[in-house]
Structures are given as structure tokens and as C-alpha cells.
Structure 1
Amino acid sequence: MLTCNGLQGSMGKVGACGDNAAMESFFALLQRNVLDRRHWSSREELRLAIVEWIEKTYHRRRRQRGLGRLTPVEYETLHQTAHAA
């Protein structure tokens, strides 16, 4: 494993299971939509803003391949309706 300045990387080769494209995309959206919007007076205030953004915006709009290109909210609604019937 490659070391630089006494530090050892924890990831493998590019394109291996540690490829972070999805997480980098998520964090870029988080940065643009929450972190860069204003100055946060406390870590708790920022934490609540992040949770609110994830639950109210990100999960409601982001379509997922594993859910048949539905958002998590659409998927849950569809399956709750089907289960109730």
C-alpha cells in the first residue's frame, strides 16, 4: 500500500468497491443546498438542518435504481397501498 508523509491510504484501486462517486455526489449536493446557504451558530443547528434536508428534500426527490426508479417516498406509498389491499 502506498504511503505518503507517513500516512497510509485506506482505499484500494480506483474503480474497486471503494469508489466513492455516489457519496461525493451526495456530499456535493449537501454542501450546495445546506452548508453553503448560511452561517450556522451551533453544530446542533447544522445537524438538524442536515437531517431536515435529507428527510424532506433528498429522500423525497432522489430516484433509486433499486426501487424501480421511484423515490423512497413513492416506493413506500406504493407498497403500503398494495399491502393494505
Structure 2
Amino acid sequence: MTEHPTREGKIYCCCVIDVYSRKIVGWAIDMRQTTSLVLNALDMAVEARSPSQTVIHSDHGTQFASWAFTTRIRDAGLVGSMGTIGDGYDNAMIESFWDTMQVEILNRKKWRTRLELANAIFEYIEIYYNRKRRRSTLSWDSPVAFEDRRKANSIPG
């Protein structure tokens, strides 16, 4: 989860990243850091992927340690994993995404309204990051192109 200010106040964004393709598969934005924020991001990811016996890794934030979140993980057939306290390396992939988003969009201007910033985050994730931003770790494909190439090369069966 990350936060960013606007002249109206802060907004919070929670994302679920697929470790294999680096695609943001679930995300949510709210004015408060609540359990519902992380549940909305998780629900989007589960809807997009229909995972089974997949590990969902998080930090020890109260939203991720909540009864509602752990129950939702279990109900979705996911396996919960939490990093060690104070160890940024446990969440290195999502932390790298947050750093990239800070540099490429959030810190480029002062945001007037929460809606303006929320729209910019939507465009960044759905239009640019997932579909256009190429990554060296994905043979210089975007996350969507990487997944498409993998599907095209897979053997049906």
C-alpha cells in the first residue's frame, strides 16, 4: 500500500502484483487505509486470475493481518504469507513498483484533487504499466505482452 498527497488530502493505493509477469492484477484506491481497501484489491486480483493454491504475500500492516483479509484469502483458496517485520526485501517486487510509480507519475506534479490523482493512477496502471512499460526481466516485454507470448507458446493440453 502507498499513499500520496493532493491539495484535498491523501489517497491510498493498494496493489496486487503477479510475481511471474509483474502485472498489476488487482488494485484499489481510497481516502483511508482500511481493510476494505486491501479487500477490494484482493477481490479484483482473484476475479482476474481465479487462482488456486497460490501464495499471496503481504507485510504485517493491520489491514493485511485483519480477520476479514485472512478469511478472504482462505475462502479464495489462497495461501497467506507475511514477511518479517522491518524487512523491505521481503516485498521487494511491489516496493520496486511503488518506487517506479513515484518517479514516473506521482512526483511529477502537485495533484489538485483526489479524483485527478485517482484517474492518473488508473491510467498509469491499466494503460501504461501493464500494457506498454517494457521490463528487462520480461525480455523487454510489457507484462501483458509477456503473458500473451507465454500463452501463445504454451502447449495445449
Q: Secondary structure at the match of 1:20?
A: helix
8 A Cα contact 2:111 2:117, kept in partner: yes
Question: What code does the residue aligned with 2:112 have?
Answer: S
Q: CA deviation at 1:77?
A: 7.8
Task: Measure, in 1, the Cα distance between the counterparts of 2:126 and 2:101.
Answer: 12
Deviation, structure 1 residue 78: 7.9
Q: How large is the Cα RMSD of the aligned pairs?
A: 3.3
| CA deviation after TM superposition for structure 1 residue 62, in Å | 4.2
- The size of the alignment, in residue pairs, is 69
> Which protein has the larger Cα radius of gyration, Structure 1 or Structure 2?
1
Tell me if the contact between 2:129 and 2:142 (Cα under 8 Å) persists in the aligned partners. Answer: no
Q: TM-score, normalised by structure 1?
A: 0.57
Describe how 1:1-85 pairs up with structure 2 within 5 A: 10=60, 11-12=83-84, 14=87, 19-59=90-130, 60-63=132-135, 70-74=141-145, 75-76=147-148
Q: Which has the higher contact order (CA 8 A, sep 6+)?
A: 2
Q: In the TM superposition, what whole-angstrom CA distance separates every residue of 1:19-66 from its partner, at most 9, and x where no partner exists?
A: 110011000011001111111111111011011011121112245x7x
Stretches of structure 1 lacking an aligned partner (at least 5 in a row):
1-8, 81-85
- Determine which structure has the larger helix proportion and give its number: 1
- Secondary structure (helix, strand or coil) at the match of 1:36 reads helix
Q: TM-score, normalised by structure 2?
A: 0.34
